[in-house]
Structure 1
Amino acid sequence: MNERLNRPKRFGEILDLTFSLSKKHFKIFFFISLIFMGPVYLIEALIKLVSGVNFFREVSVGGAWYENIAASFEVEETTSLGADLGVVLLGFVSLFIFPVATAATLFVVDHLRKNETYTVGSVVKKAFARYGAIIGSTLLFTLMVTGLILLPIMFIAIVFVLGIATLPVVGIIVGVLLFLAFAIVIGYLLTRWSFYFGSAVLGEGTPGFTRSWRLTRTQGWKLVGLYIIFFLLISIVSSAFELTFGLFLGNSVLLSMILSLVNIVTTLIFAVGFAVMYFDLKVRHDAEDLKELIDEYAVVQS
């Protein structure tokens, strides 16, 4: 079995192993993500093309260089209501498709840690075998996220408005402090519950929120930090590509296709990172359970 995947890891080791696995098995991970995400992004590009967005838009010539750069980022109002609705519908459809790619990636990492042979077809088949549990748990988690975000926002908005109406400075300070406090609490809670996905995929409990809470009981803030690092890395990479290629391509279909490929790569890296984190939690939890059994056995024998 893979030693690094089957022992507890520190913060930096999880990041290092994530990027090592992503690099070493990039073709497999990319192909899996491309199977499920590629068609959605391709249809989105076709919708934009049909709606009137240029496939390749050159930066206008003439004028100062900074004016040309600014012009390359101007959004052209060429899309129709039907095209916008089509893009929204694709976003909704992706909610039922993209999780399967993450599940298949999780199965690949599971095979790697056990030194088992696998094929793309076999892990995809396993992912679809757990489709009902995966989608059902994901929808429940989405509802939880929506509720945890909307309710505090409504509360903060009411407090902020009332504060501004009475004491503006105090209202602003209280509003900011409440926002930060709720953001920290919500982020922590969602992190503790987020590993439901691994439980649902591997059949260790559905919807898996209780198991996720148990797995993360001593690792919560560490996992919050890892999520933040992955979010920052993905945001920086995506922004860098968008700014760089946007200078030459402007608001074009080709730019959206390039950004879609970048998104596939960053998504697969996050999926691998999630798998590494989940199996790290699983190793720690199983070790604790074994230790408890040994202690109980020692008590009985004595």
Structure 2
Amino acid sequence: MENKFSTPKGFGEILDHTFQLTKNRFKDFFIILLIFMGPVYLVQAILQLSSGTSFFREVGSDGEWFDQILTSFEESGTFDSSSLGADIGLIIIGILSAILAPVAEAAILFTINHVRRNEDYSVGSVIKEAFSRFWPIIGSSILFGLISLGIIIVPIVIIAFTGVVVAAAVHPVGGILLGIVLFLVFAILVGLLLTRWSFYFGSVVLDKVSPGLGRSWRLTRKRTWVLLGLYIVFYLIISCISFGVQMTFGMVLGNSVLLTLITNLITLVTTMIFSVGYGVMYLDAKTRHDADDLKEMLEEFKTV
């Protein structure tokens, strides 16, 4: 087993290991994501071209150059909404992405696990392993998505109802302030709950436990705040990279097909960073959990 995986890691060590692993195995991770998502992005580009979007540079029709660039995002959407074929294509792309992306992330998880065990692997072999868990991945992901949707919608309804009642019965400002407080409280609670269940994916893929929610709950015990902080850091890193690229190239290319291709290319990189980070976090939690189980077994053995 690789030494970096054999011992529990702190907050900074997880980030450091994530970026080192991403750098060292960049080619393998990128090829995996490209195999799965490349065809989807290609179809998206073809649909954009067929809807009349310029390949190299899309600008608006009026105003100065800067204004034309800005208006291009309003005048030229990703697809022409008046075209039924484009709308159907957009739906198909969304469905394919939702199906293929988790399998690609599973292949990355298998790759990281092979690295952890110092085992030989190939891109083809980890993709085959990922497809062997296809239905458990899809089923568990749908279940997790429905649960996530529920625990997000319910607080929104509660916040809206409470805010309206207080605003009508007491004072509008009081309703607004109460709504803000409730929003912050529920946001933290939802974040903690989703973090506790977030390792369902790793459990389904590597440990073959479906739907994996119970195991995830055990793995994240006593580490929820740290893991939530890591998720936030990864989100900020990915958002900054994506925003920077879109702003930089968008100023030159407008809402063109080329901008979409560049953005999708960067999405592959940011997805890679998050997937590797998730894998490192999951295996770290697994190491901690297995160590705790071993300690409990030793303590029970001593008492016998």
Aligning the two structures, in what range does the TM-score lie when normalised by the shorter sequence?
Answer: over 0.9
Structure 2 gaps of 5+ residues are: none
Structural mapping, 1:188-267, within 5 Å: 188-267=192-271
Number of equivalences = 300
Give the share of equivalent positions with the same residue, in percent.
54
Which residues of 2 match residues 126-205 of structure 1 at below 5 A? 126-166=129-169, 167-205=171-209
**C-alpha distance in 2 between matches for 1:163 and 1:92:** 41
Q: What is the aligned partner in structure 2 of residue 116 from structure 1? A: 119
Which range is displaced more, 252-261 or 68-77? Answer: 68-77
How far off its partner does 1:39 sit? 1.1
Q: Are 1:72 and 1:247, in contact at CA under 8 Å, matched by a contact in 2?
A: no
User: Could you tell me which residue of structure 1 aligns to residue 41 of structure 2?
Assistant: 41
Aligned residue runs from structure 1 range 275-286, under 5 A:
275-286=279-290
- In structure 2, how many angstroms separate the alpha carbons of the residues matched to 1:177 and 1:75? 39
Match of 1:52 in 2: 52
Q: Does 1:13 align with 2:16?
A: no
Distance of 1:58 and 1:215 partners within structure 2: 49
Deviations 1:110-162, CA, capped at 9 Å, x for gaps: 00011000001111111111111111111100111111111211221222222
| Preserved CA contact (<8 Å) 2:60 2:75 | no
Q: Say whether the 8 Å CA contact 2:58–2:255 is kept in structure 1.
A: no
Matched residues in 2 for 1:81 and 1:157: separation?
36
Question: Contact (CA 8 Å) 1:137, 1:197: kept in 2 or not?
Answer: yes
Distance 2:70 2:98 in 1: 34
For each residue in 1:2-47, what CA deviation from the matched residue of structure 2 results, as whole angstroms up to 9, or x when unmatched?
A: 1011210000000000000101110000000111111111111111
Equivalent position SS for 1:54: coil
Q: 1:24 to 1:292 in 2, by over 3 A?
A: same
Matched residue SS, 1:217:
coil
Task: Tell me the amino acid that sits aligned with residue 265 of structure 1.
Answer: V
More divergent stretch after superposition (13-22 vs 84-93): 84-93
Q: For residue 94 of structure 1, what is the amino acid of its counterpart?
A: S
CA distance in 1, matches of 2:245, 2:142: 31
Instruction: Tell me if structure 2 keeps the 8 A contact 1:196–1:209.
Output: yes
Query: Shift of the alpha carbon at 1:58?
Result: 5.4
Distance change (3 Å), C-alpha of 1:292 and 1:177: same
Partner secondary structure for residue 227 of structure 1: helix
Q: TM-score, normalised by structure 2?
A: 0.94
Separation in 1 of the partners of 2:66 and 2:51? 29
Asked if structure 1 preserves the Cα contact closer than 8 Å seen for 2:58 and 2:69, the reply is: no
When normalised by structure 1's length, the TM-score is 0.94
Q: Which runs of 4+ in 1 moved over 6 A?
A: 60-63
Describe the superposition over 1:264-300 as per-residue Cα deviations: whole angstroms up to 9, x where unpaired: 1100110000000000000000000000111111111
Residues in 2 aligned to 1:164 and 1:84: alpha-carbon distance in whole angstroms:
41
1:177: Cα distance to partner?
0.8
Matched, 1:101 2:104: yes
Q: Call closer, same or farther: CA 1:112–1:60 in 2, change over 3 Å.
A: same
* RMSD across aligned positions (CA): 1.8
Looking at structure 2, the residues matched to 158 and 212 of structure 1 have their Cα atoms a distance apart, in angstroms, of 33
User: AA paired with 2:124?
Assistant: G
Cα deviation for residue 236 of structure 1 reads 0.5
